[in-house]
Amino acid sequence: MPFIKLSADGQISLPLEIREKLGLKPGDLLSIEPTDQGLSVVPVAEQPHLSAKPILQESIARKNLETTMQFIRGIGPKLSEALAKKGIVTVEDALWLLPNRYEDRRALTPIARLRPGTTEVFSGEVLAADTVQTRGGKRFFEVIIGDGTATVTLKWFHYNLRYMKGIWKQGRRGIFTGEVAQYGYQREIHHPDVEWLADGESPAAAMERDPVSFGRIVPVYPLTEGLHQKTMRKVLKAVVDRYVASVGTSIPSEIAARHNLLPLDEALREVHFPASTDDLAPFNESRSTAHRTLAFDEFFFLELGLALKKQGVTMEEGIAFQVTHRYTRELLKRLPFPLTSAQRRVLSEIKEDMMAPHPMHRLVQGDVGSGKTLVALMAALIAAENDYQVAIMAPTEILAEQHYLNIHRWCEELGVRVTLLTAAMKGKTRSSALADIAAGTAQIVIGTQAVIQEKVEFARLGLGIVDEQHRFGVLQRGLLGKKGKNPDILVMTATPIPRTLAMTVFGDLSLSVIDELPPGRTPIETRVCPESRRTTVYDIIREEVAKGRQGYIIYPLVEESEKSDLKAATQMAEHLAWDIFPDLRLALLHGRMKPEEKEAVMAAFKNCETDILVATTVIEVGIDVPNATLMVIEHAERFGLSQLHQLRGRVGRGSGKSRCLLLTSGKLSDDGERRLRVMESTNDGFMIAEEDLSIRGPGDFLGTRQAGLPDFRVANILRDGRILEVARKEAFALAEKDPHLTMPENDRLREELPRRWGGRLELAGIA
């Protein structure tokens, strides 16, 4: 009996008699399978096609997923147009349109056993149908359905009377689906679904006739005009049955096994048409294994992209700055206060990054008034000490102007030249600014997105600083980086960003947190005041001014408009000055004023030449007046939580007790009420940010829906935060092990990643 020997390098040598028996030549491939008797050794046929076959299959699968919906059997031009309105253009789009919820339509429930608060399926006969008028004169259409066990009332509040009378005829039988409600002793269902039975047809036969909508757990999809639930189900069933097998799983098998993930095609099939289950709750709450698999898949690819981006930064050649203290030491000497320990810690982290030979990519996060601008200025001066230019990019002209006003004062004393560049600048002023930037005489350039336009050329950009990064996308940050040769990038935000959001939007950045306020700051007492307490609010303003203090009154608009009832700053400033506080000194500040006018108004307020500053949200950031102890915000219900927190942060900057009064008018919405109560209960910016995120959702929280936040098809960072953390950990571990995705087992990842996120994360070079 011939023996097979394993060599020291792990190769198997087959004896000559076995090779001859199998007709093998050197280089032939074998399939070795375990059997009950031992090992089965079989030659593999059609060897030249082995490597080509999977590639061909993947290519066919990709083409299948790219098939446009109009070419699917049974979908005509009209239906494909309606689907396109819902964003469903290709088969892949359809597969990723997940149901909103699910209904259990496996069996019919007798009317007597219908349970309030649940969606039920039952059969019955129309006993009566007509319009009913309430005592208040409102009409609705009412139908009574019976099945011999009991009756139930169906109601429609929006209907076409002629149409309803035409179909809801006495004696007609059908299968009905809807959520059961209980009002007193009466059970009723509003706007139910109906499937009519043919004459003499049994409910069981009707259910067999439509196996997509009955006899199973049924998906309920989001719709748009021109689409009906029944049509949508049939379309999705056809697409899932025919094409879901084309969806491949790219996540490595060991990661999938570690987290009990399903193959992607299986997860999609289960999410659309779940197999029988006794508990629908995990599906309706998007917690099923299938939902978890899809969420993990989305998060994993985003985090892998961010991890590779971060790895790439450490491999790029950057600027190794030297800290000479030429400007920084001078600035510290001139400051009227010492840096906090948190500012010093963050500055050390920034210095360490700037001195490294690869580009810095760091996010500095700090609450209102924590001193981020000063830290950023110190970083800018380090770059200036090394004869490099700095670009500071703010999201609005107002913010850019305020940074300019604050920074150029310090820099002029130090002999550092600061230039402002915004889209509003025209003619000679703009040409002069562009020339200074190109020549390198402008050492620090402060502006809006104007600084990343093509015409702007820097002589030697070494540091880009992005303020309020949550309003900018990842690509805009990238464009700033391209204005120099791998410059350092420092990102700042005064909006505390919840952990889950930071992991998705800023996952490629190192994080520094200024978690300490300057000494002497006092907690700000916040109170919600309805319109009826306006005179009390005015009395409080007088009290503060009598103590030698100052205050702000904030309005949402500059001037009154016909479409809005919001009190406008311009008109109200006049009213307050003439009618309410004729004996006090008032000033007006808004975004339409020229930079020099704003500077004069703010300087007068800071020098205590003004008692009350009437302003728009232009004062949201950048103003530091320790003597101001009162903030009054008109129409507070119209502001977002983060903005209210930013505005409140303008007071409480000295040792005096500070207050913030939130004036509201009219009835508050539930969200409005919740926002204001949060403001009353805490001064903690991170708690406020978490609440703001849960109230508004990620897109609105970031200011604009396209501001760098990924477009998740399934995942939800509020609901799936735990999955995000796990996916991030796995993705970063893989990127550390294989930073270029060159290992053979990561081939599919390397192909899939640019397709998913390449454009959004600038990962086109990975493939």
Query: Is the pLDDT score of 764 beyond 50?
Result: no
Could you tell me which residue, 367 or 269, shows the higher pLDDT? 269
Mean pLDDT value across residues 318-323:
92
Residue 481 has pLDDT above 90, yes or no: no
> What mean pLDDT is predicted for residues 325-343?
90
Position 668 scores a pLDDT of 81
Residue 706 pLDDT level (bands cut at 50, 70, 90): very low
| Confidence (pLDDT) at 704 | 40
- pLDDT-derived band at 46 (thresholds 50, 70, 90) equals very low
β-pairing, 418-421 vs 444-447, is parallel
Say yes or no to pLDDT of 765 above 50: no
Q: Report pLDDT for 278.
A: 73
- Choose the weakest-confidence range: 76-80, 300-304, 312-316: 312-316
Pairwise CA distance, residues 711 & 477, whole Å: 18
**Confidence at residue 475, expressed as pLDDT on a 0 to 100 scale:** 58
Separation between Cα atoms, residue 584 and residue 577, nearest integer Å? 8
- Which of 36-45, 233-242, 483-492, 617-626 is predicted with the least confidence, judged by mean pLDDT? 36-45
pLDDT category, 622, cuts 50, 70, 90?
A: low
pLDDT class for 45, splitting at 50, 70, 90? low
Check whether 476 has a pLDDT greater than 70. no
Helix axes 721-737, 289-315, angle to 10 degrees: 40
**Which one-letter amino acid corresponds to residue 464?**
G
The predicted structure's pLDDT at residue 56: 73
- Whether 245 and 236 have beta carbons less than 8 Å apart is answered as no
Q: Tell me: pLDDT of 680 over 80.
A: yes
Question: Can you give the pLDDT at residue 27?
Answer: 59
Integer Cα distance of 299 and 726 in angstroms: 9
With bands split at pLDDT 50, 70 and 90, how would you rate the model's confidence at 610? very high
In this predicted structure, the answer to whether residue 618 has a pLDDT above a threshold of 80 is no
What is the secondary structure of 212-244 as a DSSP string? TTSSSEEEE----TT--HHHHHHHHHHHHHHHG
Which of 17-31, 105-119, 188-202, 530-544 is predicted least confidently? Answer: 17-31
Helix (H, G, I), strand (E, B) or coil at 47: helix
How large a percentage of the chain has pLDDT more than 90?
A: 37
Q: What is the predicted pLDDT for the residue at 399?
A: 78
- Flag whether pLDDT at 54 surpasses 80: no
pLDDT recorded at residue 562:
47
Give me the chain's average pLDDT, please: 83
Q: Is a pLDDT exceeding 80 seen at residue 696?
A: no
Average pLDDT over residues 76-86: 85
State the Cα–Cα distance between residues 219 and 442, nearest whole angstrom.
61
205-220: per-residue pLDDT in tens? 999 888 888 888 999 9
- Counting other chains too, the contacts that 533-541 makes at CB distance below 8 Å and 24 or more residues apart are 534/663, 537/632, 537/661, 537/663, 538/580, 538/581, 540/630, 540/659, 540/661, 541/581, 541/612, 541/630, 541/632
Give the residue-averaged pLDDT of 308-335: 86
Alpha carbons 550 and 587: distance in angstroms, whole number: 12
| Domains detected in the chain | 5-49 (2.10.260), 107-215 (2.40.50.140), 253-315+731-760 (no CATH), 328-514 (3.40.50.300), 524-682 (3.40.50.300)
First to last CA, the chain: 51
- Cα-based distances in Å from 138 to 132, 133, 154, 157, 424: 8, 6, 16, 9, 54
pLDDT for res 433: 92
List, as own/partner pairs, every contact residues 295-298 make where C-beta atoms lie below 8 angstroms and the sequence separation is at least 24, other chains included.
295/714, 295/715, 295/716, 295/720, 295/723, 296/251, 296/259, 296/261, 296/723, 296/726, 296/727, 297/251, 297/261, 297/264, 297/267, 298/712, 298/713, 298/714, 298/715
Residues 644-654 have a mean pLDDT of 84
* 26 — pLDDT class (breaks 50, 70, 90): low
Element (H, E) at 738: none
Give the pLDDT confidence score for residue 240 in this predicted structure. 92
Greater confidence, 584 or 510?
A: 584
Mean pLDDT on 593-607: 82
- 533 burial level (CB within 10 Å; 0-12, 13-18, 19+): middle
pLDDT band at 34 (very low <50, low <70, confident <90, very high): low
Pairing between strand 151-156 and 139-146?
antiparallel
Output the six-digit token pair for 88.
């469903």
Q: What is the per-residue pLDDT across 521-572, written as a single tens digit (0 to 9) for each?
A: 777 899 999 988 999 999 999 999 999 999 999 987 755 554 555 567 788 8
Q: Is the distance from CB of 195 to CB of 210 less than 8 angstroms? A: yes
- Evaluate if residue 470 carries a pLDDT over 60: no
Q: For residue 567, which phi and psi values (nearest 5 degrees)? A: -70, 130
- Average pLDDT, stretch 258-277? 92
d(CA 366, CA 342): 10
Cβ-proximal residues to 155 (8 Å cutoff; 6+ apart), any chain: 140, 141, 142, 143, 188, 189, 190, 191
- Tell whether the model's pLDDT for residue 498 goes beyond 60: yes
Q: What is the dihedral of CA 22, 27, 29, 35, to 10 degrees?
A: 50
Whether residue 763 is predicted with pLDDT greater than 70 in this model: the reply is no
pLDDT mean over 238-257: 91
pLDDT in tens, 408-460: 888 989 999 999 998 888 889 899 999 999 999 999 999 888 888 888 899 99
Res 25 pLDDT > 70: no
